[in-house]
Structure 1
Amino acid sequence: MGTRKELQIAVLARLEDEGRKMYSRELADIGDESSVAREVVYLKSSGLVDAAVREFDGVPHFAWASITAKGSDYINTEGTIGSELNVLTVRLHEDTVRQLLVARVRESDADESVKEKLVDQLKALPAQGIAKVAEHALDQALRNLPNAVQWLQTLL
């Protein structure tokens, strides 16, 4: 077997295909016993498999392993219930967005007459208009954010 990742995927795929608890001897054709055992221990610690593991003289062994729902979600590329359950929806009320935009205008260095005109226009916009302005504002903010990629990398 190739890389550790390939071995992990092979173990998960076999457990998923069989859909049952499998004994270590049944996974022997995937790779050498110690490598498979090491990956089963790792997959168990990640919550992707359930397994009966033991260590003898510093060498990991396992009696059996089975895939968990989390492991099944990980191995399946089509949409799964787990992936649907893990969706996060962020909703910003139009008034919140409107208040943020008005505050930004008021904090700007623009002329007072320009600021008041913009504030009045923002206050008069319907919800759909605020949504469109917010979408464009986010797009512009990301386009003009210095080092956007580096910022995202540190944030994520």
Structure 2
Amino acid sequence: MILDRELQRKLLTNLSEVYPFRYDFSKDFQYGSVDYEKAVANLYYLQSHGLVTDKSVFVSQSLGGRGQVQFGSAEITHKGMDFLADDGGLSAILGTVTIKFETEQLRAILAAKIMISDLSPERKATMIDAIKELPAEGLKHLTMKIVDAGWDNMDSLMSLIQSALPY
């Protein structure tokens, strides 16, 4: 196979070492050689994924035949830099989603779950009243207990997660 992960990493590493400037791969690979063809194909693959800029590889089409692919002004993108970073770079940090529930939203979710349970109506009313009177810190503690109970019942939790996924 022409795609080579080790070569791709080497190409990206060379680019990262001169970032934010361009790198001239034509000095590393002799034009027309098998190594050149392999390197330019792998750089084109990286370009297709947005890890290097669009000017990194030039593709020329010829009539009725195979065109030529050659090195351009190779430059790594922020995605390429983040790909090389052990921690995923800024993309990992900026792509983090924080979910916050307001106290009243959480009370409403818990009350709704209690209402659809098979508890007696009296027990449901007692539990909902208790949740309404629970201070925010107590509600936080209760929520952590609910999460812990879910993790403690991993098989049931996994079944629940799988049933909620669309595929």
Q: TM-score range by the shorter chain?
A: 0.7 to 0.9
Structure with bigger strand share is 1
Deviation at 1:91, TM superposition (A): 1.2
Q: CA 1:100–1:65 in structure 2 vs 1: closer, same or farther (change >3 Å)? A: same
Matches within 5 A, 1:78-117: 78=87, 80-117=89-126
Give the SS at the match of 1:49.
Answer: coil
Deviation at 1:68, TM superposition (A): 0.8
* Residue of structure 2 in register with 1:120 after alignment: 129
* Residue of structure 2 in register with 1:136 after alignment: 145
2:54 aligned with 1:45, yes or no? no
**CA–CA separation in structure 2 for the residues paired with 1:25 and 1:148:** 55
**CA–CA separation in structure 2 for the residues paired with 1:63 and 1:82:** 26
Deviation at 1:58, TM superposition (A): 4.3
2:14 aligned with 1:14, yes or no? yes
The number of residues matched between the two structures is: 152
Deviation at 1:99, TM superposition (A): 0.4
| TM-score normalised by length of structure 2 | 0.75
* Residue of structure 1 in register with 2:24 after alignment: 23
Give the SS at the match of 1:97.
Answer: helix
**CA–CA separation in structure 2 for the residues paired with 1:93 and 1:125:** 14
| TM-score normalised by length of structure 1 | 0.80
Q: What root-mean-square deviation, in Å, do the aligned CA atoms of Structure 1 and Structure 2 show?
A: 2.8
- Listed one character per residue, the Cα deviations across residues 48-97 of structure 1 (whole Å, up to 9, x for unaligned) are 10114214524532223111111111112257333322221111112111
Give the SS at the match of 1:53.
Answer: strand
Give the SS at the match of 2:75.
Answer: strand
Q: Which runs of 5+ in 1 are unaligned?
A: none
Select the residue among 70, 73, 83 that pairs with 1:64: 73
**CA–CA separation in structure 2 for the residues paired with 1:15 and 1:148:** 45
Deviation at 1:9, TM superposition (A): 1.3
Q: Which runs of 5+ in 2 are unaligned?
A: none
* Residue of structure 2 in register with 1:73 after alignment: 82
**CA–CA separation in structure 1 for the residues paired with 2:69 and 2:146:** 54
